[in-house]
């Protein structure tokens, strides 16, 4: 009897969304899907007050299209929509087909975009109606809908207002930089207008691009990053995006140029920026040691070098012959560090 009681308590403690009793009523999201004709890139950016939205919402296939499936997300929508686009259906036809075939469509929101810049969005009746139901304490007073433009679509549910999607659209249309940077700017803009009324939890960016004929690259997913569970996923998402785009290497190169020109304080500050993005990268610590050595700050140079060789002992040999450490070579603490 005691074991049975414990088992019953465990079952009742599991939220309804974790059981096979229908769609998850807590999945609230805003997203953007986009196509860049100049680069042939397709992308999806998403933020949600739900766990691992970056894994559930985005789908994209180079040369075909992009999909965002959200609210009570149906993960089958992604592959189904891509397959139908490949068969020649328009996004509007695709959205109608996949929702017509889905008994749970009233709880869904889905957007589909093709490489002709056409898009279509479906927001289920329940997703809209719950915003006007005083008994629904989670969604009451929120907003659900979308804004579309040439080559992009922005959609969301359980939002602070329509201003969220409008701000996202404006940020993307007037943004600069890569597809991923513009998606990130759109997500930031949406959050600045209140975003998901329930707050933040997860986010992701996916960008795909066809591999050119004869290219050595085998990578279609040029950006594929996500943050699954944190109070502000955009902080980590931007850090990951900077790593993906090679920002630490660019900062390190600039820092080396500054040091060569004798601008040591500026060089050290620039290298610290790179290290802040990739604190687990031994080469970033090694480069900081170089900058400190060039500036004549032996204690800080040795501290940074110690961190670098602790992470990767092979750097001892590199440091032993590095001309930038020439003035440290006769120091006992340097010798001990590289032995």
Encode pLDDT of 215-250 as tens digits: 888 889 999 999 999 999 999 999 999 999 999 999
Sheet containing 108-114: order of strands: 58-61, 65-71, 108-114, 119-123
Q: Which residues pair with 48 in a beta bridge?
A: 29, 202
Residues 189 and 68 in one domain: yes
Domain count, the chain: 2
Task: Tell me how far the alpha carbon of residue 148 is from its chain's centroid.
Answer: 21
Closest Cα partner for 287 from 266, 272, 277, 276? 272
Contact assessment for residue 124 and residue 139, using Cβ atoms and an 8 Å cutoff: no
Question: Would you state the pLDDT for residue 27?
Answer: 60
Q: Where does a domain end: 210, 244, 278?
A: 244
Q: Which residues of 21-53 are buried (b: 16+ CB within 10 A; e: fewer)?
A: eebbbbbbbbbbbbbbeeeebbbbbbbbbbeeb
Confidence of residue 254 (pLDDT cuts 50, 70, 90): very high
Question: Would you state the pLDDT for residue 324?
Answer: 97
- Report the predicted TM-score, pTM, of the whole model to 2 decimal places: 0.88
Q: Which whole number is the average pLDDT over 189-216? A: 93
The encoded tokens of residue 234 equal 């955009």
Residues 91 and 182 in one domain: yes
User: CA 235, CA 313: separation in Å to the nearest integer?
Assistant: 31
| 54 within some domain | yes
| Averaged pLDDT of the chain | 92
User: CA 236, CA 121: separation in Å to the nearest integer?
Assistant: 29
| 298 within some domain | yes
Q: Where does a domain end: 225, 244, 263?
A: 244
Q: Which residue has the higher pLDDT, 129 or 21?
A: 129
Q: Which whole number is the average pLDDT over 87-102? A: 98
Residue 262 reports pLDDT greater than 70: yes
Residues 253 and 233 in one domain: no
Q: Where does a domain end: 219, 244, 269?
A: 244
Question: Would you state the pLDDT for residue 167?
Answer: 98
Residues 36 and 139 in one domain: yes
Question: Would you state the pLDDT for residue 217?
Answer: 82
Residue range(s) defining the domain that contains residue 290: 247-338
Q: How far, CA to CA in Å, does 31 sit from each of 12, 181, 318? A: 33, 14, 46
CATH number at residue 169: 3.60.20.10
CATH number at residue 332: 1.25.40.10
Residues 302 and 279 in one domain: yes
Q: Which residue has the higher pLDDT, 197 or 215?
A: 197
User: CA 269, CA 276: separation in Å to the nearest integer?
Assistant: 11
Determine what percent of the chain is predicted with pLDDT higher than 90: 87
């Amino acid at each position: 009897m005691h074991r049975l009681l414990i088992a019953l308590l465990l079952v009742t403690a599991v939220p309804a969304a974790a059981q096979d009793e229908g769609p998850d009523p807590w999945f609230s999201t805003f997203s953007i899907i986009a196509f860049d004709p100049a680069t042939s890139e397709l992308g999806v950016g998403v933020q949600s007050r739900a766990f691992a939205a970056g894994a559930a919402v985005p789908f994209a296939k180079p040369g075909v299209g992009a999909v965002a499936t959200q609210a009570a997300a149906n993960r089958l929508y992604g592959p189904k929509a891509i397959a139908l686009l490949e068969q020649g259906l328009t996004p509007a036809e695709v959205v109608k087909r996949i929702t017509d075939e889905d008994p749970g469509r009233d709880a869904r929101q889905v957007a589909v975009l093709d490489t002709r810049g056409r898009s279509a969005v479906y927001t289920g009746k329940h997703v809209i109606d719950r915003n006007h139901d005083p008994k629904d304490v989670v969604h009451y007073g929120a907003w659900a809908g979308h804004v579309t433009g040439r080559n992009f679509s922005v959609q969301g549910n359980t939002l602070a207002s329509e201003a969220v999607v409008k701000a996202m659209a404006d940020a993307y249309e007037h943004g600069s930089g890569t597809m991923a940077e513009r998606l990130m700017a759109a997500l930031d803009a949406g959050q600045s207008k209140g975003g998901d009324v329930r707050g933040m939890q997860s986010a992701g960016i996916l960008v795909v691009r066809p591999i050119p004929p004869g290219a050595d690259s085998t990578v279609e997913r040029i950006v594929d990053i996500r943050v699954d569970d944190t109070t502000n996923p955009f902080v980590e998402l931007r850090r990951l995006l900077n790593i993906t785009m090679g920002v630490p290497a660019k900062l390190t190169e600039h820092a080396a140029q500054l040091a060569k020109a004798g601008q040591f304080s500026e060089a050290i500050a620039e290298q610290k920026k790179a290290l802040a993005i990739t604190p687990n990268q031994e080469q970033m610590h090694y480069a900081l040691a170089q900058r400190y050595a060039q500036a004549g700050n032996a204690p800080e140079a040795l501290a940074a070098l110690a961190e670098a060789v602790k992470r990767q002992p092979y750097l001892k040999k590199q440091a032993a012959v590095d001309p930038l450490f020439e003035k440290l070579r006769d120091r006992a603490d340097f010798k001990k560090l590289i032995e």
